[in-house]
């Protein structure tokens, strides 16, 4: 089997080092996802840049985590489910919402559930949404802008989930308390 390197600041390619140093400063540790992505500095830069752009969307922290965690679950990314559970907790996302996202069950808030359903449809149908699916999320109070922002979050998770799958990224100690196992594997 092909193995991928989980780089350190010392072993990472030069173009990845400034991004890794910023991550170390921001998180207090170097996330293994970033260490794996640093093999290709362009994906690391793309992921961190896109993450920053997604944070500027018109969606709340809870809404962004709904999109990210829904994609993590659907893509079976154990690393990202644990990481985003931790990030959701830090952002003050309701524990019942986090638990629903981890289990793939409905969220009690109808508007947030409509967003979760949109994220599911976007992932599973690869963007080929029906008019009824679009109208349902608009009726729940979201906008066309928000629909496009779901695509942004889905793209972000494709980058990290797929990297974790091929690199078999080890879970960081900070995320171990929120370990998640994909029930479909």
pLDDT the model gives residue 64: 98
DSSP 95-131: HHHHHHHHHT---SSHHHHHHHHHHHHHHHTTT---H
Mean pLDDT of the chain: 97
Q: What confidence score (pLDDT) does residue 30 get?
A: 97
User: Where residue 117 falls among pLDDT bands split at 50, 70, 90?
Assistant: very high
Structure tokens at 43: 């994906």
List C-alpha distances in Å: 123 to 23, 31, 69, 97, 165. 28, 25, 12, 19, 17
| Domains along the sequence of the chain with CATH | 60-178 (1.20.1290.10)
183 pLDDT band (50/70/90 cuts)?
Answer: confident
Residue 1's pLDDT is 57
Q: Is a pLDDT exceeding 80 seen at residue 2?
A: no
Neighbours of 100 (CB within 10 A): 21
Average pLDDT over residues 122-129: 97
Burial (CB count within 10 angstroms: exposed 0-12, middle 13-18, buried 19+), residue 134: middle
Give the side-chain half-sphere CA count within 13 A for 128.
3
Is the pLDDT at 88 greater than 80? The verdict is yes
Q: Which of 168, 171, 169, 175 is nearest to 1 (CA)?
A: 168
What is the mean pLDDT of the segment spanning 97-108?
98
Mean pLDDT of 169-182: 96
Contact (CB, 8 A) for 30 and 24 = yes
Q: Which of 136, 124, 144 is nearest to 71 (CA)?
A: 124
The pLDDT-based confidence of 115 (bands split at 50, 70, 90) is very high
Q: What is the pTM of this model?
A: 0.96
């Amino acid at each position: 089997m092909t193995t991928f390197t989980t780089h350190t600041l010392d072993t990472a390619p030069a173009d990845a080092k400034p991004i890794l140093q910023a991550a170390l400063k921001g998180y207090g540790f170097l996330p293994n996802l970033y260490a794996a992505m640093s093999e290709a500095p362009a994906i690391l830069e793309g992921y961190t840049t896109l993450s920053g752009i997604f944070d500027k969307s018109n969606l709340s922290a809870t809404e962004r985590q709904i999109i990210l965690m829904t994609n993590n679950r659907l893509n079976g990314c154990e690393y990202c489910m644990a990481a985003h559970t931790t990030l959701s907790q830090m952002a003050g996302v309701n524990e019942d919402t986090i638990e629903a996202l981890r289990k793939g069950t409905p969220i009690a808030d109808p508007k947030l559930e409509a967003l979760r359903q949109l994220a599911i449809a976007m992932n599973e149908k690869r963007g080929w949404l029906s008019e009824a699916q679009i109208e349902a999320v608009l009726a729940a109070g979201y906008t066309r802008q928000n629909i496009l922002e779901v695509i942004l979050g889905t793209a972000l998770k494709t980058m990290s989930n797929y990297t974790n799958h091929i690199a078999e990224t080890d879970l960081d100690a900070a995320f171990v308390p929120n370990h998640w196992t994909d029930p479909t594997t």
